[in-house]
Structure formats: C-alpha cells, structure tokens
Amino acid sequence: MKFYDAHNHLQDDRFAGRQAELVAASRAAGVARMVVNGSCEEDWPQVSGLAREFPDLVVPSFGYHPWFVGERTPRWREALVEFLDRTPGAVVGEIGLDRWKPGLSCDGQEEVFLAQLRLAAERNLAASIHCLQTWGRLLELLRTTPRPARGFLLHSYGGPAEMVPPLAKLGAHFGFPGYFMHDRKARQREAFKLVPADRLLIETDAPDQLLPDAANLHPLTDARTGRALNHPANLPDVYQFMADLRGEPLTTLAAQVEESFRRLFGAARAVDTGGPTLTIPLMSNDIIYPRSARETMAGWAYLPRFVDKIRLHLAGKLHTDYQENFAHKGFDAKWLQTAGLTAEQFIAVVKDTVTDAQVCDWVAKNVKKSAEEKAAFNQAVLNYGRENDPAVKARLQMRKEQSGLGHRDDLQCFVDYIDADEKRI
C-alpha cells in the first residue's frame, strides 16, 4: 500500500540535517510522496534542494506562511515566482491567515495570502492553506478571489463542521493530521466525518502536530531543546486511524486518498528531464482537462483555457473531444478574432513560452484592447447559452444530455456545462 503525506515540513531546521534518514524510514513505512512546504524566503532553497535530492518523493511547495509574513523582503513575490518557475512540479504553500497566534500582527497577512492564491490560480497549481480562528473571513476571500481550478488544500482543517460543504463547493480538500487523534480533538474529528470521500487527504505536518504517545511509533527528539518531534514515517498510523473513524477498510481509504492527492498535486515525476516545465494540469485519469473558461489572464476570461488547449495540442495530448473546435471554431476562434490574431500567430507565441506569466505579459503588451472590449468578450463567453436564442438553448440541452447531465437545471450556459462535464462543479 502507498501512503501520501499531503503536508509536512521536511526542510525544518529542527530535523538538524537528518533528512536522508527520515526519508529512508518514511519510504520503508510505505510513504510514496510528500508535499514539503516552505514557509518563507529563507527556507525555499532548502525545499528545492530536497526536491532535487528526492525527486520521486518530494512535491516541492513554496509560499509565505502567515507567521513569517512580517519578515518578507520587498522582492518576495518575484522570488516566489522564480522558485515556482524553475522547480519542476512545484506547488504553492504554505500560505494562509492566522488570528490565533498570540502577538502575531495581522498586517499584510491578507494581502500576501491573496497575492499567493492568485499566483496559484493563474497557474492552476494546488495551494496549501493554513487557517486558524478566521474561517468566516477565509470563506469570504475564497469566494471572491480566483482559485486554482484543480482545487486547494485546507491543511489540518480545524474549522466548523457546517463549513465543510460550502468550502468543498469552492474546491477545498481537507487535510487530517495525526494531532487530531488526541482525545480532546473530538470536535475536529466530527467535522472530518462530513468531508466528501474524494476531498479527504492525510498529513503529518512533521515535525509538528505530534500523535498521542501510544500511536507514535517513530519517537524523535529535537537535540537542541529535548522536545519531541513528529516523524514523517508516522503517516500510516494516521491513515489507519482515519479508516477506523470513517468505518472503511484501509485499502479503500488509501486508494481514494491516492487519487485525490494525484488530482490535486499532480502525477509523480519519474526523472527530471531538465527541460521546461509546462504548467498544464496533470490529472490521474486519461483526459487532461484544460482550465475553466472562468479563469482569466490579462483581463480576458477563457484565455487560460485556450492556452492549456494549445499546450496540450503541442504536447500531442489534446483529447479528441477538444480537437474539432480547436483554434478555428467556438470560443477559441472568438478570442482570436477579438484579439486580432490568427491561430498560427498565437500558437507560435505559446510555443515560445514556458509559463503562464510569459504568455500573460505577451498578451498585455501586444493585444491592445479596451476594458470595454474585454468585458464584452467576457460577458459573451460566460453567458453563452443563457440568452433567449432557442437554437442555442436546444444545442446546450443536447450537449447536457449527451454527457448525462440533462437533469442538471443549474447548468444554464455553456461554461456551466463545460465545468460540470469536466467535473469541476
């Protein structure tokens, strides 16, 4: 059986250079992959070093943790973009909001959190979010800010049970840590009973969030302080606890978590080819879906989706369902026409870039259209099928029925239909 640690801090100084030993013990325990979260500019190089050393195991994650936001340099955002651009398979985290830590200032927390969430959304990368005692505000911000189409992780979810459904609706996955195995964490465990099976992830948060002594099979001590540390090889115990809590076999839980982990964090990298990394969504199933038409780039709705389709096309991975309209019909053609470009011109632009940020810069510089023209295009795309044209409405209904979505009255336009067909809503 393979175990996936959705959140830890293998780079933490308290591990005092024993990382290779921890990795060996974790592999022996069946840990297949782990998301290693940086927390500030200072530890990002360590995270990328671990990803280079253990490429099949470590999913490198870069972000500013709310506890360290006050230490950021003026160019923190550029530094983050560089780490995301040059580290294969990189995701965003740990980011978040904290109203719990005594003495911690709120200054800059929201601004830094939102800037990072937007970066994750633009690139459709998973974001790992920390939240303590400010769940209502987090929900509000998530509702009104672009989110990664592939979803995000609420690590060590300790919010109210009744907030699980609305958060799940926005794309939340919920990380369960071994710390919630303590008797006093009954309220947190209750919330996890409401987490949909395909949104559940398991984490150690090592070196923090120690398990109860009886379950801690890998005792570890911080040599400098004598304090107990959590070992990442404790992960299978946390899985077993969750399987018991949900009353299902460990194998069932493990298979489900594996699928969710891969959907959110991408497939494993067998070897680092040294080539450019494309920010296309990697899915565990056969079809790689482009991003939602609702995502925007340089003020244009639909554009991130078109860029994904071009990258998939260039990689020979554009599914046949998307090939008929590709670049010459439908919304693809509509955007090109509005932007005053030919398909060949724009495909060449995407081909010459590695990241979304580069495409975005090119479009911002070379496609000079007014805010009104962009808004008109965005409205036309996002509402297509909603207006009262019986022929268009009939075609929408036909597409819904072909996809087994005929009963979904909430799908009122083509973009709704596409989001449902690609399993985002």
What residues line the site for Zn ion (CB under 5 A)? Answer: 94
> Minimum Å distance from CB 156 to Zn ion?
7
Instruction: Measure the CA–CA gap between 412 and 385, rounded to whole angstroms.
Output: 7
* Residue 94 vs 98, nearer CB to Zn ion: 94
Q: Which residues contact 266 (CB under 8 A, 6 or more apart)?
A: 59, 89, 91, 126, 281, 282
* Residue 36 vs 293, nearer CB to Zn ion: 36
> Minimum Å distance from CB 356 to Zn ion?
26
Closest CA to 85 of 366, 367, 360: 360
* Residue 94 vs 122, nearer CB to Zn ion: 94
Residue type, 368: K
> Minimum Å distance from CB 101 to Zn ion?
13
Beta strands in 38-90 (DSSP E): 58-62
Helices and strands (H, E) in the chain, number of each type: 17, 12
Tokens of 374: 């962009």
* Residue 94 vs 308, nearer CB to Zn ion: 94
- DSSP symbol at 283: -
* Residue 39 vs 292, nearer CB to Zn ion: 39
* Residue 235 vs 336, nearer CB to Zn ion: 235
Instruction: Measure the CA–CA gap between 396 and 413, rounded to whole angstroms.
Output: 7
> Minimum Å distance from CB 104 to Zn ion?
15
> Minimum Å distance from CB 7 to Zn ion?
6
* Residue 94 vs 332, nearer CB to Zn ion: 94
Instruction: Measure the CA–CA gap between 235 and 175, rounded to whole angstroms.
Output: 12
Q: How far is CA 381 from the centre of its chain?
A: 25
The bridge status of strand 31-37 relative to strand 300-301 is unpaired
> Minimum Å distance from CB 222 to Zn ion?
17
- DSSP symbol at 70: G
> Minimum Å distance from CB 307 to Zn ion?
32
* Residue 48 vs 204, nearer CB to Zn ion: 204
> Minimum Å distance from CB 142 to Zn ion?
19
Give kind and range of the element (H or E) at residue 201: strand 200-203
* Residue 93 vs 281, nearer CB to Zn ion: 93
- DSSP symbol at 214: G
Instruction: Measure the CA–CA gap between 258 and 264, rounded to whole angstroms.
Output: 10
Q: Which residues contact 163 (CB under 8 A, 6 or more apart)?
A: 135, 139
Closest CA to 62 of 96, 38, 78, 32: 38
> Minimum Å distance from CB 9 to Zn ion?
6
Q: Degrees (nearest 5) of the Cα angle 411, 414, 417?
A: 45
Residue type, 354: V
* Residue 43 vs 94, nearer CB to Zn ion: 94
> Minimum Å distance from CB 129 to Zn ion?
10
Cα→Cα distances 201→158, 204, 368, Å: 14, 11, 44
Instruction: Measure the CA–CA gap between 250 and 224, rounded to whole angstroms.
Output: 37
Q: How far is CA 393 from the centre of its chain?
A: 34
Using the CB atoms, write b or e for 230-268: b if 16+ within 10 Å.
bbbbbbbbbbbbbbebbeeeeeebbebbbebbbbbbbee
Instruction: Measure the CA–CA gap between 90 and 35, rounded to whole angstroms.
Output: 9
> Minimum Å distance from CB 71 to Zn ion?
16
* Residue 94 vs 421, nearer CB to Zn ion: 94
